[in-house]
Amino acid sequence: MDYNADVLIKIIKLGRPQFTFGILMYFLIGTLFALLSNANFDLNKFIWGYLILFMASMATHYSNDYFDFEVDQYGTRTPFSGGSGILVENPELKDLSKKLAYFFIILSLIIAALFTVYYSFPLSFFLFVLFGNALVWFYSAPPIKLSYRGVGEFGNLLNGFIMPGAGYFVTMGTIDLPFIIFSTPFLFLQFMFTIGVEIPDMEGDELGGKITWIVSKGREFGFKLMGISVILATVSFLVIPLTNLFPPIIDFRILTLISLIPLSLGLFALWKRPVDKITATKLATYNVGSLFAVWILVNCYFIYLLK
């Protein structure tokens, strides 16, 4: 194959680089929360840690497009769902996509192993990375294929813990109870994100053999789940400071106010619950996009507190 500029651009798009921003925002939330919890910042650890997460995320996109090739032929692409579309239009890149997926997942694990040894981190850090890589790999890869067995939502939900957890772990040196509790609203928001990206793909997923909750229960059920998820996220931000495990500098009322963005959109979606594809896709996209606003505002607030 001639790897000219056009082909290289397609290969880059296949890795869906637009998601790099969200991954960085999640990682940064965990890092900043660790710093607010009296951890010391180490730029080298930060870079190493983000590289581990970045490589795993790249493996995710290349593997998902490869293993979801049949499904993506039936789907409609949106900014957040339906795959990159590159393999559908350029099936000759399938083998390369699979090789790149293997390359990035192996690279993520190698960097994690080197990080663990060099910084004398506990073995639990490498196991944390290994679990995260396995989770994203087997989301669509055989033999487990989570998204084809009706449990892919649980795998995606855990990203709300794993991605900020990576930033917290490399900065704090451990995953402790305060972070586990702190991650709770992000788990609910990530679940909203997961359902939101499944809603536009309902028909394509069904034709391609994916067993998602939206395929099984329909779009109306999906909007109900999204509404419940954002309600629980806001309630979590209200409740978790009552544990008295968190630095007093963090005002959870501010985080609660930030959560009103997805809450308002989620409640609107819960009220409307459209079932036609065009309207549902538009509403789901707005809800998914609200998570980006949460990431940015939480990071801005935490950076402000560190000044």
Confidence label for 266 from pLDDT (cuts 50, 70 and 90):
very high
Q: pLDDT over 90 for what percent of the chain?
A: 65
pLDDT digits (tens, 9 = 90+) for 114-136: 999 999 999 999 999 999 999 98
* DSSP sequence for 73-111: TT----SSSS--SHHHH-GGGHHHHHHHHHHHHHHHHHH
Using the predicted structure, report yes or no on whether residue 210 has a pLDDT greater than 90: no
Average pLDDT of every residue of the chain: 90
Q: What is the pLDDT of residue 99?
A: 92
User: Per-residue pLDDT averaged across 20-35, rounded?
Assistant: 94
- Predicted TM-score (pTM) of the model is 0.92
Domains and CATH numbers, the chain: 18-306 (1.10.600)
Using the predicted structure, report yes or no on whether residue 1 has a pLDDT greater than 60: no
Do 210 and 147 meet the contact criterion of CB atoms below 8 Å apart?
A: yes
Q: What is the pLDDT of residue 296?
A: 96
Task: Quote the tokens at residue 148.
Answer: 């084809």
* Cα 85 to Cα 30: distance, rounded to the nearest angstrom: 32
